[in-house]
Structure 1
């Protein structure tokens, strides 16, 4: 009998493995990425206090498709702008079990261009 692979379970397992070592503090919060088929979302989270400091999504930008690389880059720049206004300079990048390629990479590069350090 062939065992079927569930992508969501594999990603969740990778995410748990990464989260053992990564946590956000007030001085260096965590930048968490969620990628769906049509959109991409990112949050900057202080895990010690349990608060989301800044959030950005492709749903906020109407001119851009969040399902492609260009849209993810725009969301990264938007997140960085909001973070700079909230006095956040450096973050820890949490790719949430996704491969650092394509939209996740574009979001990270857009955030770096916008002024975040990680």
Structure 2
């Protein structure tokens, strides 16, 4: 499977999953992006089209995290959960953004659940 085929597959899955759930101010969409070395998570309100909060392994909070990529992803998930609870958000819609629910994406979701988010 070539790189272009992988990209097209991910784009199709991403569009399919986007039709299932729209984020609102009460239940925003937790969107995950996974690059080769970093992981990013955003809480998005699709009604207004705005990002409510964003955390990544590159952000000020996540920069000092160490360990394997999966451990860092779990920590980023915990950071997202803690910041969401500070803003009064307890329920989210999980958007894996076309990535398989496995490895670092699953670790981020588990970390967010540990912090208290429900999805």
Aligned residue for 1:23? 22
Structure 2 unmatched ranges of 5 or more: none
Aligned residue for 1:77? 78
Aligned residue for 1:62? 63
Return 5-14 or 101-110, whichever deviates more: 5-14
Aligned residue for 1:114? 115
Q: Residues 27-47 of structure 1, C-alpha deviation per residue, up to 9 Å, x if partnerless?
A: 111000000001000000110
Q: Secondary structure at the match of 2:90?
A: coil
Q: CA deviation at 1:62?
A: 2.4
TM-score (ref. length: structure 2): 0.90
Aligned residue for 1:87? 88
RMSD, matched Cα = 1.7
Structure 1 unmatched ranges of 5 or more: none
Structure number with greater Rg is 1
TM-score (ref. length: structure 1): 0.91
Residues 57 and 75, structure 1, Cα contact 8 Å, conserved in 2: yes
Q: CA–CA distance in 2 between the matches of 1:42 and 1:70? A: 15
Q: CA deviation at 1:63?
A: 2.9
Q: CA–CA distance in 1 between the matches of 2:78 and 2:106? A: 13
Q: Secondary structure at the match of 1:49?
A: coil
